[in-house]
Amino acid sequence: MTSPAIQRVSDGASSGVPRGNLPRTALTALTPVVWGTTYVVTTELLPQGHPLFAGLLRALPAGLIALALTRTLPRGAWWGKAAVLGVLNIGLCFPLLFIAAERLPGGVAATLGAAQPLIVAVLVVAVLRESLSAWRLAWGVAGVVGVGLVVIGPNAALDMVGVVAGLASAASMALGVTLTKRWGRPADASPTAVAGWQLTAGGLLLVPVTFLVEGPPPAIDPPAVLGYLWLGLVGGLIAYVLWFRGITTLPVTSVAVLVLLSPLVAAVLGAVLLGQTLGPVQLVGFGLSLAAIVAGQLPAPARLARRQRGRRPADLTSS
């Protein structure tokens, strides 16, 4: 009788969602869905011109709450690991993301962020020593194209600083996601504790950056309070706990492709709440992106899987 462990598909060329992991995938997908609300919350509720302050309030209070709830601090090498992951996933990713958002049309910035699954598909070869999956790369490209069709308008302009910042932001989080998968978490630490370490580390890095770039905090009215609470408690604490739990329990490339949900949710909310339109091209892109997300959770076809198993990661990186 085949054991459940043998039935699980490895996270390589033929990786997909292991049997029984659909609920965990659905929970993990809630994180990019929540992140997709950030644009509407920021534009409609928060004071303008302070994106870094919003990022700071999204990270640091959530991290401190998680530490207070779990009362668990890193031990030994995990002080350094938590700091590195916090910088990559939050402290460095946020400022670069906001630079891209300020210098590029929102659609271009979102499309650059959608490149994260492609970067992860390559990083798993170098960091996790897994085979490079043509299946993952192909659907990753399809996802980027789909997002581009949904969110890039006809008057989109490119600013090289913004483009570099957008790609660097995607690369920073992609490396953070991959290292999170490699390092896992200590046996005595819950996902909430690990999320708290990273949110706190990233938030502490954002403190001097925010006040140096943006100056004093803005005046906060009742709508802004609601916006910051949503970003901090739901978009920060709850979302990152689910995200990091998903990374440690699911194939990392499958988790990474879920990021495509963020710009899609933002586009839907823009159409429903802000009166923005979705034409035929946007609908085609929407369908292509959804197909990429679903395909990213499935194993590669048997023929591709057999071909991939015949090649070692070293062979692929040198070819």
Do residues 141 and 291 lie in contact, with contact meaning Cβ atoms separated by under 8 Å? no
- Per-residue pLDDT 10s for the chain (319 aa) are 433 333 333 333 334 444 557 888 899 999 999 988 887 888 889 888 888 898 899 999 999 999 999 999 999 999 999 999 999 999 998 888 878 777 776 667 777 778 888 888 888 888 888 776 777 778 888 888 888 888 776 655 667 888 888 889 889 999 999 999 999 889 889 999 999 999 999 999 999 999 998 899 999 999 999 999 998 999 899 999 999 889 888 888 888 889 889 888 888 888 888 777 778 888 898 899 889 888 888 876 655 555 555 554 444 443 3
List CB contacts of 224: < 8 A, sequence separation 6 or more: 45, 46, 47, 218
* Whole-number Cα distances in Å, 211 to 56, 152, 239, 303: 10, 32, 25, 55
Distance (Å, rounded) from C-alpha 171 to C-alpha 302?
A: 30
Q: Identify the pLDDT of residue 106.
A: 61
| d(C-alpha 37, C-alpha 40), whole Å | 6
DSSP letters for the chain: ---HHHHSPPSSTT--PPTT-HHHHHHHHHHHHHHTTHHHHHHHHSPTT-HHHHHHHHHHHHHHHHHHHH-----TTHHHHHHHHHIIIIITHHHHHHHHHHHS-HHHHHHHHTTHHHHHHHHHHHTS-----HHHHHHHHHHHHHHHHHH--TT----HHHHHHHHHHHHHHHHHHHHHHHH---TT--HHHHHHHHHHHHHHHHHHHHHHHH-SPPP--HHHHHHHHIIIIIIIIIHHHHHHHHHHHS-HHHHHHGGGHHHHHHHHHHHHHS-----HHHHHHHHHHHHHHHHTTSPPPHHHHHHHHTS-HHHHHH-
In angstroms, the CA 59 to CA 231 distance is 9
Cβ atoms < 10 Å from Cβ of 274: 11
Residue partners of 3: CB distance under 8 A and separation at least 6: none
Residue 179 has what pLDDT?
94
Contact 317, 125 (CB under 8 A): yes
